[in-house]
Amino acid sequence: MTGCKPIPPDAFTSRFIGVIDLQDGLAVHGVGGDRDHYLPVGTFNAPGRAAHRIDGHVQRLIDGYHSVGIDSLYVADLNGIRFGDWQRQQIRSIVERCSDRGTLFLDLGFRTTMPPQRWSWIESLVNDHANVVVILATECATDVSLLSDLLTHLPCDQIAVSLDYKDGRWVSEETTDDDWFDACRNSGISTVIGLDLASVGSTSIQRTLELCKRVRLQLPHTRYITGGGVRGAADARRLFDAGADQLLVASLYAR
């Protein structure tokens, strides 16, 4: 955003979550939710430091986030989200690499009830790593009942629900946001994520700010994570003041 001051080191990093969009084994740079045109992350740019080459290398991007004090990460498996095929080897490598760090949020693209072998894999991952939180993203889930299904397999405090919009409109055709607000309240989910996909990689937090206010009105006491368009300290402050507990950041550092 024009006029925003660069974020000084350590000013908000304890409340930032570094985003890794994982596609075909590469860390890619998301813009506007148009996943057909995502390109590998080129560089990591921290205030007061020389740009560090990433070239799509996942571990380099993780190291970049850690170097500025961002310990929590959000990993979106775009292969799983788009086509249903999880990048299991890469995901496990990331989980093990970050096992002694902050929270690791995983969006694998849950859609419908899964076969037993898939449940076994994700249960093993969660049971072995207490810092892993599995995301149920509403853009993929075909029914609210999938949340109940997850809760029979995974601890409630290791599940988060992502409420997904684009240009202010609810993304799912099978469910409504009111359905999910009710499900979150009734199930006792402690963490929700609000995303307007059109704000991903943008230079404005306006949609993100509007969504923050909307979600906070419905779920005032739930831990709320959001992101999209954050370009400086002023943007971060406005979102925290509107009720965000943590912010997802990507383009602020990785381009």
Per-residue pLDDT for 2 more than 70?
no
Amino acid 216: pLDDT: 96
Tokens of 92: 């496990």
Q: What is the percentage of the chain residues whose pLDDT exceeds 70?
A: 94
Q: Is 40 exposed, middle or buried (0-12, 13-18, 19+ CB in 10 A)?
A: middle
**Model confidence pTM above 0.85:** yes
Interacting residues of 41 by C-beta distance below 8 A, sequence separation 6+: 27, 28, 29, 54, 55, 56, 61, 254, 255
Per-residue pLDDT for 129 more than 60?
yes
Residue ranges per structural domain of the chain: 13-131+198-249
**CA 116/CA 126 separation, integer angstroms:** 15
- Mean pLDDT of the chain, nearest integer: 91
For the segment 173-214, what is each residue's pLDDT rounded down to a tens digit?
A: 999 999 999 999 999 999 999 999 999 888 899 999 999 999
For the segment 77-99, what is each residue's pLDDT rounded down to a tens digit?
A: 999 998 889 999 999 999 999 99
Confidence of residue 218 (pLDDT cuts 50, 70, 90): very high
Q: Where are the alpha helices (DSSP H) in 45-102?
A: 58-67, 78-83, 88-97
Amino acid 1: pLDDT: 35
In DSSP terms, which residues pair with 196 in a beta bridge? 165
Amino acid 90: pLDDT: 96
Domain spanning 13-131+198-249: CATH 3.20.20.70: yes
For the segment 10-36, what is each residue's pLDDT rounded down to a tens digit?
A: 678 899 999 999 999 999 987 666 677
